[in-house]
């Protein structure tokens, strides 16, 4: 098996199970060697995608003044936890009119991030919240179109025909809010996409902030689910493979990056996606807990 190693730019994180060797399981490249000043405080988390099926990324455009968003978001979580268990990665993108701050009415927690602005600008989803994209293969869909689109995806071969195996090793230091992650992608078949990208996002679950609800009015301590917090790579992914990606080839990228201290790392996840950079559509997605 061929093993190619590509290295990205430096950026930061936080992690989990402590091991005696602070860099066990990961090659520390020169660009990241000085990221963590005291490696004795490091924790290591390992991840490997489950074989046999592919996951899809659902990005929901939402906002704290969108009264219809909470019940519709629950539909997505029900799908992810029941009907499509283990097959969906759900991400809340706070962008557009409904995500703007309204201090006089108590909407003071800003959940908008630059990557969300990029996505909203490209797909124009934030101003029609709630709306979703599925693997970025269409314009944002309003709730009336969700069922038919998901049925179509379920009836296709997407979930049962994964093209990639994704694994990752994350070293994090809680004391310094810094980390290193190595992502390894193996081609399960010959990939004929000319320009493949790898994207990595940070999401945080159960962010407590005020939310308007269609049935319950203003909820001051609403738990916002799977909030997009940061794009570690570029919003639409960084260049990963150009040209051929033959079956059984393994390609890796190693990144160092910052974790914002306002996040609750225990509730954070890393989202990985493989994209076609020529049209921004996603080929496959995965998710791992930042701290297991």
H and E: helices and strands count for the chain: 3, 15
What gap in Å lies between CA 35 and CA 39, rounded to an integer?
Answer: 9
For the residues of 139-186, what is the DSSP string, one character each? Answer: SPBPGGGHHHHHHHHHHSSTTT---EEEEEEEEEETTTTEEEEEEEEE
Q: What is the CATH number of the domain that holds 281?
A: 2.60.40.10
Average pLDDT score over the chain: 87
pTM: 0.88
Q: How confident is the model at residue 268 (pLDDT cuts 50, 70, 90)?
A: very high
> What digits encode the pLDDT tens for the residues 64-79?
999 999 999 999 999 9
pLDDT for the residue numbered 7: 36
From the number of C-beta atoms within 10 Å of its C-beta (0-12, 13-18, 19+), residue 224 rates as buried
* Residue 103 Rama label (left phi>0; alpha psi -120 to 50; beta): alpha
> What digits encode the pLDDT tens for the residues 121-140?
998 876 788 999 999 998 89
For range 141-169, the mean pLDDT: 95
pLDDT for the residue numbered 83: 93
Q: How confident is the model at residue 4 (pLDDT cuts 50, 70, 90)?
A: very low
Tokens of 87: 């097959």
Q: Is the pLDDT of residue 188 over 50?
A: yes
Count structural domains, the chain.
Answer: 1
Q: Which of 43-47, 121-125, 245-249 has the highest mean pLDDT?
A: 245-249
> What digits encode the pLDDT tens for the residues 96-111?
999 999 999 999 999 9
Is residue 9 a contact partner of residue 256, using CB atoms and an 8 Å limit?
no
pLDDT for the residue numbered 6: 37
In terms of residue numbers, what domain contains 247? 3-289
Torsion of Cα atoms, 157 then 159 then 165 then 171, to 10°: 160
What gap in Å lies between CA 165 and CA 292, rounded to an integer?
Answer: 20
Q: Is the pLDDT of residue 15 over 80?
A: no
What are the CB-based long-range contacts (under 8 Å, 24+) for 19-28? 19/43, 19/44, 22/171, 23/171, 25/169, 26/169, 26/171, 26/180, 26/182, 26/254, 27/182, 27/254, 28/180
């Amino acid at each position: 098996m061929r093993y190619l190693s590509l290295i990205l730019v430096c950026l930061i994180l936080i992690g989990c199970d402590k091991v005696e060797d602070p860099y066990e399981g990961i090659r520390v490249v020169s660009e990241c060697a000085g990221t963590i000043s005291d490696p004795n405080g490091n924790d290591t988390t390992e991840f490997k995608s489950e074989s046999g099926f592919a996951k899809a990324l659902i990005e929901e455009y939402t906002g704290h003044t969108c009264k219809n968003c909470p019940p519709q978001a629950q539909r997505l979580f029900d799908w992810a936890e029941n009907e499509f268990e283990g097959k969906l990665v759900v991400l809340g993108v706070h962008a557009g009119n409904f995500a703007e701050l309204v201090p006089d009415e108590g909407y003071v927690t800003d959940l908008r991030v630059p990557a969300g602005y990029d996505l909203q600008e490209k797909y124009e989803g934030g101003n029609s919240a709630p709306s979703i994209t599925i693997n970025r293969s269409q314009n944002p869909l309003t709730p009336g179109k969700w069922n038919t689109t998901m049925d179509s995806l379920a009836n296709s071969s997407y979930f049962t025909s994964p093209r990639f195996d994704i694994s990752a090793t994350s070293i994090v230091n809680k004391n310094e809010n810094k980390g290193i992650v190595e992502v390894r992608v193996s081609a399960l078949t010959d990939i004929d996409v000319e320009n493949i990208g790898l994207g990595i996002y940070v999401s945080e679950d159960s962010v407590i902030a005020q939310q308007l609800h269609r049935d319950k009015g203003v909820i001051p301590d609403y738990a916002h689910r799977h909030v997009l917090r940061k794009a570690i790579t570029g919003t639409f992914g960084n260049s990963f493979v150009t040209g051929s990606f033959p079956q059984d080839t393994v390609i890796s990228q190693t990144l160092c990056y910052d974790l914002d201290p306002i996040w609750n790392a225990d509730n954070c996840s890393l989202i990985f996606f493989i994209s076609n950079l020529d049209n921004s559509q996603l080929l496959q997605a995965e998710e791992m807990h930042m701290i297991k």
